[in-house]
Chain A
C-alpha cells in the first residue's frame, strides 16, 4: 500500500513535507529488494522502456547506434528499435542538436546524446535559444519536449577540454530543466521523468558513475517508475551540518559523512538530483535543522551551483545559520593532466570533512554570550 502511495507521490508536482517524509521512509523500507544495477544498466533500461512505451521517442547522437554507444548507454537499442529510431550522426553537434529541436517542435520526443557535455558548447545556441526559450517567446504555441543527455564534469586524466561541469551554466537558464542523477535509481527515475516531461531537459550524467552498482528497489524496476523533477533526496539524515551535492560528489559526501560521524559530527547529505528547479525548500528545511551548510560541487567555483545555494540560504534562513556557509568546488583552473595536479583540481573527501569541521567549530562565541 505504501508502495502504491509512493508511486503516486513520486511523480506529483507539489509534494508536501508529509509526502516527502513518506517517500523518505518508503525508500528506506523498499531499498532492500536484493537487486543491484549499474548506472549504465539503469540508463539503458530507462531508454529502452520509454522507447517501447512511446513511438515518438527516438535517440540521436554520435556512435549511439552501431557502436552501441560511446559509453554503451544505448547498447542493444539499435537492434531492438531500428535505424529510424536510433540514429548515428556525423560529428556535427550544432547540426544534430538543431535537427533534434526542430523534431521536438513538430511533436516528436528526441533524446539527443552529447558524447560529453563539453561538446554541447558547439550546440549551446540550440539548447538555449531554440529550445529553452521557445515556449515563452511563442506564448505556449511551440513546446519542446526534448532531452539532451550525456556525461558531464571531470573524468580521469582527460584534460582541460574534456572535463568541464556545465551544471551552473545550464542551471541558470529559465525554460530549461536540469537534472543530475547520482545512483541507479536516480538515473532510471530521472531519465524516465525527463523523457516524459514536455519541456527541454538537460540531463547531466557522470562517466565515472556509469560502472558503479547501486541497490534498486522493486519499485524502481517497474517500467512506470519515475522520480519527480525538482525534488532533492536526503541521502543520509543528520543534525549537525548539511552537505549539498550532486552527481559523483554525493558519493564523496557520503564518505565524508562516515568519517565525520566518527568524530561525533552528524552530517545530513542532500542529493540535489535537480539543479533546475532547485529544491530550495528541502535545502532550507535542512539548514534550519542543522544551522550549518557545506555546498559541494565538482565544477568551477565562481557563479557555481554552490553560490546559488549559498545565496538562497542567506535569503531564506539567515537567522538559522550558526556559521558562514562553506563552499567546496573544483579549483579555479582549467583541468590539468598530471595525476597529482588533477587530484588537487577536484574536491576530495578530505576537503569536505575539513569544511564540515570548520562549519561546526565556527559558532561558539555568539551562542556562549547569549
Chain B
C-alpha cells in the first residue's frame, strides 16, 4: 500500500511537471521498465508463414506510454473535428480515431531510421514519428508554422528526419513509393526497413501488385501494412474485393493478419515483420482496425454502416480502453491517474491549438518558393502574369 502511494506520488509529480511541456514525448519515465508478458487478445493468422507467438514482452513504462500517446492522438483528431466544423481547417480532413493502436504499436517495434509512408490519414503517424502538435494543427489551418509551412495541408504532412515520407493524396501511390524507399535502404546497405501503409480500398490498386512483384524479385526490406478499417470511403470491403483476405493477397509473399486494435499485437507483428523483411524480402501485415469517423469530414460515416456497429466496436475493441484495462488490471496506475493523464493530454492539445491559431498565414512570397530545389533564376507567373511574377532562386 505504501509502495503504491509512493509510486502514485512520483507519478503525480511527473504529471504536473509535464503539464507545462508542449511536446508529446513520453514523460512517464519514472515508471518501471521491468518486463511483463501479456497475451494478445487474438492469435495471429499466417499466410505462408508461421505466425509469431501471442505472448508479447512489454513493460509498465511502455504500457503507460501507449496509453498516453494514444490518448494524445485521440484528442488531436477530435479537436481537428471541431476545428473543421469551425471552418478553421479547410478542404480534406481524414481522421484516424479508432486506429491509434496501429501507429503506436508500430513505433514501439521500430526506430526512426526505419521509414514509414502512408496515405492521407496521416496525422497520427506524423505524431508517432516525432511530429509536434503545433506543427500538425498549424499545418491543418494552413499556417506558416505547419510541418509543410502551410503549403501541404492535412494530406501532406512529412517528417524526413523522423523517417516519415508523407502524407499522399493519390490512393495506392504510396505503396510503390514505399518499395522505392526500401530499395534505397537496401542499396545503401542501411539494415533498416520501410513500412508502406495503405487501406482496404487501396489494396486493389494494380500498382501495389506491380511494386510487390519487384520487391519480392529483388528481396527488398518492404513491409506492406494494410490498415483494414473495412470501408474504402463508403464501400464495404466485401463490395470492393473479391477476396478481402488482404494478408493473403500477396500470393507468393507471406502475410500476417493482426488485431489492429491491440497495440501489443501490432508491436509484436511489426517486430516480427522487420526481422523477416531484413532477411527475406517483403511481407504483408493486415491490421484489422476501425475508424470511428467517416472517411473524411464530409462523410457522416453512418450511411453505409450502422451506428450500432460503430458503438459496438467502441464498446468491445477500443484500443485505448484495452490498454486502460491492462494497466488497471496489472496495477500500474490508478483510474484517477489515467484520467489525469487524459486531462493533461487535453490541455496539451488545447495549448497547441491556441499557439497554432497565433501562427500567421504564409507570406505571399511563399507562393513561389520550393517549386524547385534549384530554380535557375527562372520566372514563374501568378494569375495575371503582368502583375504577379517572381524569379525562382
Contact = CB atoms under 8 A, between A and B. Distances in A.
A100 B181 CA distance: 9
Interface stretch (B165-173, B256-264, B308-316): B165-173
Contacts of A95: 176, 179, 207, 209-211, 213-214
Contacts of B373: 135, 140, 143, 145, 198-199
Contact of B169 (A87, A129, A139): A129
Nearest to B374: A198
Q: Which 6 pairs across A and B sit closest by C-beta, in order of nearness?
A: A102-B180, A98-B176, A95-B210, A106-B184, A92-B210, A139-B149
| Residue among A87, A141, A177 with the highest chain B CB neighbour number at 10 A | A141
B99 interface: no
B214 A84 contact: no
Say which size band chain A's interface belongs to: 35 or more
A344 B61 CA distance: 76
Interface string A36-80: 000000000000000000000010000000000000000000000
Contacts of B210: 90, 92, 94-96, 98
A136 B385 CA distance: 20
Contacts of B386: 315
Interface of B: 115, 117, 148-152, 156, 158-160, 165-170, 173, 175-185, 187-188, 206-207, 209-211, 213-214, 217-218, 369-380, 385-386
A89 interface: yes
Nearest to B378: A277
Nearest to A277: B378
Contact of A137 (B156, B159, B175, B176): B156
Contacts, number: 164
A142 interface: yes
Given A95-B176, A98-B180, 11 more contacts: A58-B187, A84-B187, A87-B218, A94-B207, A95-B209, A96-B214, A125-B170, A136-B370, A141-B148, A141-B160, A177-B372
Contacts of B173: 98, 125-126, 129-130
19 contacts: A13-B375, A13-B376, A92-B214, A94-B206, A95-B207, A96-B210, A98-B207, A99-B176, A102-B179, A129-B170, A129-B173, A135-B372, A139-B148, A142-B165, A143-B373, A197-B374, A199-B373, A230-B378, A277-B376
Interface centre among A97, A103, A229 (most CB of B within 10 A): A103
Interface of A: 13-14, 58, 84, 87, 89-90, 92, 94-108, 125-126, 129-130, 134-143, 145, 174-175, 177, 197-199, 228-230, 277, 280, 315
Given A130-B168, A137-B151, A108 B187 contact: yes
Contact of A14 (B156, B165, B177, B377): B377
Given A13-B377, A103-B184, A103-B187, A130 B371 contact: no
Contact of A140 (B184, B206, B370): B370
Contacts of A107: 184, 188
A17 B166 CA distance: 42
A108 B166 CA distance: 18
A99 B180 contact: yes
A139 B368 CA distance: 11
Contacts of A139: 148-152, 369-370
Nearest to A99: B180
Nearest to B377: A14
Contacts of A94: 176, 206-207, 210
A99 B194 CA distance: 12
A106 B180 contact: yes
Contact of B374 (A13, A90, A130): A13
Contacts of B166: 134, 137-138, 142
Q: Give the one of B156, B176, B183, B185 with max A CB within 10 A.
A: B176
Interface centre among A92, A129, A137 (most CB of B within 10 A): A137
Contacts of B115: 106
B204 to A, nearest CB: 14
B177 A101 contact: yes
* Residue of B149, B207, B217 contacting most chain A CB atoms (<10 Å): B207
A142 B159 CA distance: 9
Nearest to A129: B170
- Residue among A101, A134, A197, A229 with the highest chain B CB neighbour number at 10 A: A134
Given A95-B213, A105-B165, A130 B177 contact: yes
Nearest to B362: A139
Contacts of B379: 280
A103 B181 contact: yes
B158 A106 contact: no
B70 to A, nearest CB: 26
Contact of B158 (A90, A126, A141, A174): A141
A90 B377 contact: no
Contacts of A102: 117, 165, 176-184
Nearest to A280: B379
A104 B180 contact: yes
B284 to A, nearest CB: 16
A23 to B, nearest CB: 16
Nearest to B206: A94
A106 B188 CA distance: 10
B392 to A, nearest CB: 8
A99 B214 contact: yes
B64 to A, nearest CB: 32
A277 B379 CA distance: 8
A106 B185 contact: yes
A277 B371 CA distance: 12
Nearest to B181: A102
Contacts of B369: 139-140
